[in-house]
């Protein structure tokens, strides 16, 4: 793996990890009103 691939992999892990607390909270309280659909869509499509 080259350096740029490692940086991309780290960025992907951090991006995914940033959503985990929000997903956990949403799952726990069963309320999706706090989720931002436009931001989630943008993040998934990047």
| 6 pLDDT more than 90 | yes
In this structure, what DSSP letter does residue 46 have? -
Give the pLDDT confidence of 16-28 residue by residue, as tens digits: 888 888 888 888 9
The pLDDT value recorded for residue 10 is 94
The answer to whether 43 and 15 have CB atoms below 8 angstroms apart is yes
Residues of the chain above pLDDT 90, percent: 24
Q: What is the token pair recorded at 1?
A: 């793996």
CA 33 to chain centre: 17
Q: What is the token pair recorded at 46?
A: 């990047």
> Has this prediction a pTM greater than 0.85?
no
Q: How far apart are CA 31 and CA 46, in angstroms?
A: 26
């Amino acid at each position: 793996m080259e350096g740029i691939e490692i940086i991309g992999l780290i960025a992907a892990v951090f991006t995914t990890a940033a959503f985990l607390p929000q997903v956990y909270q949403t799952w726990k309280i069963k309320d999706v009103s706090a989720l931002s659909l436009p931001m989630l869509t943008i993040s998934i499509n990047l």
